[in-house]
């Protein structure tokens, strides 16, 4: 499936076939593709918690106000971000770069993030959003449907997955086989309503 087809056909699916299971190879392919998403300073903030345990999924479903995709989708990921990735051996992300580049980046990364809590959080959310879209398009290219989710109690899910204090949940993503086609699109704004040239 080409990229434009995947973009056009990706829809938010709510009803998944609970009898369908993704293989380990498919899950690896999906996550490997997602890891190619860009991040600022190549920090790769994302952490993906794959919910495999059925009782845990039931608890997360309760925290998601009973949404069935949490238990019925073939795979459910809690997409998280490491707020402190910038200070946890940041040069590990640049091991293949020449030494002068490593020397510069070590200082640049520290200078950009240190003492800037909002910037750290914003970066995690941006990186997580890009990764989420990559995952959903990759899923569609693999013949799967998906649903990005933020309709859940973030604090409750954080407790259920034992989220570290220096991490944030970005969203959840359910992936699987749709039981029925998605509803028609609600309506897209025309380009001339959203594309601005040079200024507002």
Q: What is the pLDDT of residue 25?
A: 98
Q: How far is CA 90 from the centre of its chain?
A: 21
Within-domain flag for 49: yes
Within-domain flag for 197: no
Beta-carbon-side half-sphere exposure of residue 105 (alpha carbons within 13 Å) = 20
Q: Are 41 and 112 in contact (CB under 8 A)?
A: yes
Q: What is the mean pLDDT of residues 162-183?
A: 95
The Cβ of residue 175 has, within 10 Å, a number of other Cβ atoms equal to: 26
Residue 183 has pLDDT above 90, yes or no: no
CATH code, 72: 3.40.109.10
Q: What is the pLDDT of residue 39?
A: 95
- 3-state class of 16 per DSSP? strand
Express each pLDDT in 36-82 by its tens digit.
999 999 999 999 999 999 999 999 999 999 999 999 999 999 999 99
Domain count, the chain: 1
Within-domain flag for 109: yes
| Domain that residue 95 falls in | 3-179
Within-domain flag for 196: no
- DSSP type of residue 178: B
DSSP conformation letters of 108-124: HHHHHHTT-HHHHHHHH
- DSSP type of residue 143: T
In the chain, the N- to C-terminal Cα span, in Å, equals: 36
CA angle, corner 33, sides to 3 and 68, nearest 5?
A: 85
What the block records as the tokens of 120 is: 């750290």
Within-domain flag for 185: no
Average pLDDT, the chain: 95
């Amino acid at each position: 499936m080409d990229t434009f087809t995947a973009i056009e056909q990706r829809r938010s699916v709510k009803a998944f076939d609970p009898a369908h299971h993704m293989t380990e190879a498919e899950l690896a392919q999906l996550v490997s593709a997602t890891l190619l998403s860009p991040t600022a300073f190549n920090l790769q903030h994302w952490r993906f918690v794959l919910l495999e345990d059925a009782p845990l999924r039931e608890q997360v479903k309760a925290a998601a106000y009973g949404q069935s995709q949490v238990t019925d989708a073939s795979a459910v990921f809690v997409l998280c971000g490491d707020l402190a990735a910038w200070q946890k051996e940041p040069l590990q992300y640049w091991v293949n770069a020449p030494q002068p580049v490593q020397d510069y980046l070590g200082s640049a990364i520290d200078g950009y993030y240190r003492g800037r809590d909002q910037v750290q959080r914003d970066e995690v959310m941006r990186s997580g959003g890009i990764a989420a879209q990559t995952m959903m398009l990759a899923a569609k290219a693999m013949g799967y449907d998906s649903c990005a989710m933020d309709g859940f109690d973030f604090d409750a899910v954080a407790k259920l997955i034992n989220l570290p204090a220096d991490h944030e949940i970005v969203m959840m993503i359910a992936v699987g086989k749709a039981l029925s086609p998605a509803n028609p699109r609600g309506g897209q704004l025309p380009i001339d309503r959203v594309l601005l040239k040079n200024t507002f």
